[in-house]
Chain A
């Protein structure tokens, strides 16, 4: 039986078991991720991280999670209450929903019933995750608007623009994978990677996907919607108690979801990595073993999220948008055209891979040769020019001296006097 037939054959109780298991995976991974993130970031910053609650501090997020719902709930007066209540729900549900199309393993026997470790295998599985993430943005945008205060609104606006732009790059990087697989079903995509994982067959797609999935989940260095140094907490500034916990949950489940999705698309899903897959006639690719490989690969991406957060500073908003629209999207389009051309050549003319590689190499050499012919960028001969560093920014004047106090104080004093007067005037007005 095929994967879809096996899944359609599931009795109702098995579907329920799988759904509950998905919820549990989301919750447990969140609890684990929060502690791991704090511990890893702590280690990167030479401090221990959480180490009090439970063995080695591993129960810290459980304690926090239990505490949050019991805290007082503060709702701002200016909030639009219906939208304010709706927002956290809207951001949490799609995150869990998207997990349903992720394949966790091949055919197994569950309580005596043959089935596949996946809730549903739609012919358009990859679109489900895209749809879920685009609905999830509503949670953030509505939280920003419904709170009725400026910082959340700015956070919500940023997030809307950010997620829409990066979803385009994300969606485009799926195209090459779908072209190679010939199917949009997540199960088929994993099966098609039996001969080679797509992360090295389709490197540009993989790189763009990884970058845009960080942008899509609003994580550092792309965490502009909740940039704490600019927007306090961004869209969830006005949220407290259980609703805040839901936003937190949604963020982490989203991270797990995109990591699992990336694993499915590019890292061969639940398949055992190479040396293991050669052992004992591919024994490690049967039964429940693949779940372990899935978990390992997903954890690699989750660690990447933490690593990025611990390493990179936050991007400025315009730089971030420029990266998305002017680098990732065009690069992706060019790459898709290349992939389509390659596939068309192979389908039509039956050209061998060796010929294509040789032709590609020749084209590359010619391009490199041509790039040497390009004239070097001429430095404008301007006596007014400020010397620049390697990064292109000017070097401060090196003859800086401690300013003469008497000279310095004069203009400053004048300015201060003027300001003093205005402050005094304001005070008088309020006095009256």
Chain B
């Protein structure tokens, strides 16, 4: 919807000064933004919807830059595209690509109020649009941005911290409230969940609350190969029973005979020319 707003505004400005570069940028970016908006509404996949929205936001950011508001344009890209839509994507990916919304009304009267507020918003936007088409005369930012003055960034900074200080602080208070509220709702204390830290676990293990102080030995750690079929050996040379894979354990013993022999050192040993294959393997 904001894309349409920009479009109308731009059409209104066309009667005033409009350089060729700006016109080209608008006719490229405007349709892209509009297509992004439509794509967001009509895409079936939630992630595709989010990507279309990203496209709209990026083209809006570029439009702002073209219209002599580089700070606004880049902040639009950094904040909306970079942070907010990324969080959206993050949640969508966590939820999974096939998840669909439940249509059950959780809050009573939710749909009614959504409709009322939606209509209200539409009226507001249409009114703003109508006003911008006739009542507002466009004056470029070129003068304000001139190098002699404080420039684009300086102007915005001064306005935010003087004339618009109260709305600005109010917005940040709203955001902080939302963030803190989400943290309080989402936070679960580690102790109530009953999970131990790595350090607590290690201490418990050394105190003897677990079977053994160390983790189970991996297969073949102390042996001659990394194969799962090769058991780990204890310091006295015997097989460590914990290192035996249960799959191997259920395999018929004679299949592993050769490996057992080679681990125990009773099988055929490597010869002096060990790189050459042994006789029985060569055939």
Contact = CB atoms under 8 A, between A and B. Distances in A.
Interface in B77-91: 77-78, 81-83, 86-87, 89-90
Interface string A354-383: 000000000000000000000000000000
A123 B58 contact: no
Given A141-B86, A393-B202, A123 B152 contact: yes
Interface residues of A, number: 52
Interface string B144-157: 01010001110000
Contact of B206 (A83, A122, A396): A396
Given A137-B82, A393-B202, A160 B90 contact: yes
Nearest to A163: B86
B236 interface: yes
Interface string B37-56: 00000000101100100100
B239 to A, nearest CB: 9
B94 interface: yes
B179 to A, nearest CB: 13
Contact of A134 (B86, B151, B241): B86
30 contacts: A4-B147, A82-B48, A83-B47, A83-B51, A122-B70, A123-B145, A124-B152, A124-B153, A128-B74, A130-B78, A131-B61, A131-B77, A134-B86, A135-B58, A138-B54, A141-B86, A142-B89, A144-B93, A145-B89, A157-B90, A157-B93, A160-B90, A164-B86, A167-B82, A394-B199, A394-B206, A416-B246, A423-B246, A423-B250, A427-B250
Interface string A100-124: 0000000000000000000000111
A131 B153 CA distance: 16
Given A134-B77, A138-B54, A420 B94 contact: no
A164 B93 contact: no
A77 B202 CA distance: 43
A394 B93 contact: no
Nearest to B72: A124
Nearest to B247: A423
A402 B234 contact: yes
A141 B90 CA distance: 8
A317 to B, nearest CB: 13
A104 B48 CA distance: 39
A386 interface: yes
Contact of B78 (A127, A138, A156, A384): A127
B109 interface: no
A55 to B, nearest CB: 33
Given A124-B153, A160-B90, A135 B77 contact: yes
Nearest to B90: A160
Task: Return the 3 tightest CB-CB contacts between A and B, nearest first.
Answer: A134-B82, A127-B74, A419-B246
A134 B249 contact: no
A127 B74 CA distance: 6
A405 B213 contact: no
B99 to A, nearest CB: 13
B90 A161 contact: yes
Interface of B is mostly: helix
B151 A123 contact: yes
Contacts of A424: 250
B242 interface: yes
B78 A134 contact: yes
Interface in B214-264: 214, 234-236, 238, 241-242, 244, 246-247, 249-250
Contacts of A127: 71, 74-75, 78
A145 B91 CA distance: 12
Contact of A141 (B74, B93, B236, B249): B93
Interface string A41-70: 000000000000000000000000000000
B90 A412 contact: no
Contacts of A131: 61, 74, 77-78, 81-82
Interface residues of B, number: 47
Contacts of A141: 86, 89-90, 93
Contacts of B81: 131, 134-135
Contacts of B195: none
Contact of B70 (A123, A145, A183, A427): A123
B207 interface: yes
Interface string A408-431: 110111001001100110010000
Interface in B187-203: 199, 202-203
A349 interface: no
Interface of B: 45, 47-48, 51, 54, 58, 61, 70-71, 74-75, 77-78, 81-83, 86-87, 89-90, 93-94, 97, 145, 147, 151-153, 199, 202-203, 206-207, 211, 213-214, 234-236, 238, 241-242, 244, 246-247, 249-250
A184 interface: yes
A415 B170 CA distance: 63
A390 interface: no
B95 to A, nearest CB: 11
B199 A392 contact: yes
B241 A416 contact: yes
Contacts of B93: 141, 144-145, 153, 156-157
A215 to B, nearest CB: 15
A390 to B, nearest CB: 14
Interface string A242-258: 00000000000000000
B203 A134 contact: no
Nearest to B77: A131
Contacts of B89: 138, 141-142, 145, 160
Nearest to B199: A393
A334 interface: no
A403 B243 CA distance: 14
Given A123-B70, A384-B207, 16 more contacts: A80-B97, A124-B152, A131-B61, A131-B82, A134-B83, A135-B58, A137-B82, A156-B93, A157-B90, A160-B89, A164-B87, A392-B199, A394-B202, A402-B234, A408-B241, A416-B246
B82 A420 contact: no
